[in-house]
Amino acid sequence: MPITKVQPFIHEDDLAEGWKNRVLAHRLELLITSCIIVVITLTLGIGLGVGLSCVGKFRCGSSSQCISTLAQCDGVVHCDNEEDELGCVRLSGRSSVLQVQRKGEWKTVCSEDWNNWLGISACKQLGYSRYVESFFISLTSIEQDLQTTLVSINQSQSQVIKLQNAATFSKTQCSSGLVTTLKCLECGSRPQYNARIVGGNISKPGQFPWQVSLHYKSEHLCGGSIITSRWILTAAHCVYGFEDSSLWAVHVGLTEQLIHGAQSLTVESIIHHARYRPRGLNYDIALMKLARPLVFNGLVQPICLPNYGEEFMEGTMCWISGWGATEEDGETSVVLRSAMVPLISTKTCNQPEVYKGLISSLMICAGYLEGGIDSCQGDSGGPLACEDLSVWKLVGATSWGSGCALRNKPGVYTRITKSLSWIHKHMEKEEARSTPDLSKDN
């Protein structure tokens, strides 16, 4: 199957036209939405005397229902799909500091009264099926903005719960002087990679053990990244319009296409961001849930997701990898290729001679302004991986670009730190579905 239907790489002469099309598309959506809102507002206003404004409130995703932000993560379900009680836990900063949202406010969790049952609960709320361990670090060692609003959690019973359902105590200081950090997954390591083997851009076994090849109708179409034993992260444009999971297969642990011995797994479900549009460039992210868990063996390993608020500085050297074409409009590669590229600031990438203001806060650029090294067709959805303190983190997912390796046209990637809430909410929803009774550990 040709890859042009998921072609994210835009030619220079298409940029202006593409931008006009996106604006027109959004204007049409806005017009339709406005008409619907006016009709509904008039109807309800006449019949019920109520308005539909959600300004300053939380909107339930499955309906037009609005609830107070104080009702979000308060331990009581208000939305039909329970969305107001999802995404109430997050890991923040470089140290993976645990925070819980309680009545619409994020609070850093102190170490006192913490136990492993709470750790299991927190990991399940992040969408992980397992819990590794908790650590306690000094409050003064974490980012300043994480030190101000604090809470301790008390749950004496040995059961799995939602953290916002437990007894919480707001604090101005942690009495222990320590805060809780959490680890739900062993990730970001390369146990089978021999770093002494260097040279060339052909990847070695185990060098990128999180890299997957997504096959549609038995042909490589896109790349992706292993983020848990059941979840693959890729680009929305890879799967948009191709959501029939029975036509997809995920190939892991390979450096050459169709090599024997690599694991091939079927896909249970596909979720792309609801706000993604094929003519747009934002929200280019999707998740694939595997029908059965992966077996991690050194050649197949998950990459760590970054934490909320974590920043990756301009100039940081990261790696891109994939089976994409080695030149624009060329054939996809049989072998897994990789390259080291520096991160580029949004300010630089939005300059007139580069992408002319097209780069939003949901994107991150990486590459060389002089050209020569870049991702290309067939690399879509694959990882932009950066090493931080010997741990590899998924900073971006290959999204789009103008041509391949052209001057002033670096690769553009979906910025994962801006998509964490979306990722964890869907993982949490699926984890709760597989273990609906949170009072019992699986």
Catalytic residue among 203, 380, 402, 419: 380
What percentage of residues in the chain have a pLDDT greater than 90? Answer: 65
Give the model's pLDDT for residue 22.
42
The model carries a pTM of: 0.86
Catalytic residue among 215, 220, 237, 424: 237
Per the model's pLDDT, the better-predicted residue between 199 and 393 turns out to be 393
Catalytic residue among 74, 84, 284, 379: 284
Q: What is the pLDDT of residues 130-150, one digit of tens each?
A: 999 999 999 999 999 999 999
Range of lowest pLDDT (25-39, 198-212, 237-251): 25-39
Q: Mean pLDDT, to the nearest integer, of 167-193?
A: 94
Q: What is the pLDDT of residues 367-402, one digit of tens each?
A: 999 999 999 999 999 999 999 989 999 999 999 999
Residue 251 annotated to the active site: no
Per the model's pLDDT, the better-predicted residue between 8 and 142 turns out to be 142
Give the model's pLDDT for residue 195.
62
Q: How far is CA 264 from the centre of its chain?
A: 23
User: What pairs with residue 62 in β-bridges?
Assistant: none
Residue 284 annotated to the active site: yes
How does residue 35 score in pLDDT terms, banded at 50, 70 and 90? very low
How does residue 198 score in pLDDT terms, banded at 50, 70 and 90? very low
Task: Read off the tokens for 168.
Answer: 């919480």
Task: Read off the tokens for 186.
Answer: 């062993």
Compute the mean pLDDT over every residue in the chain, rounded to the nearest whole number: 86
Residue 388 annotated to the active site: no
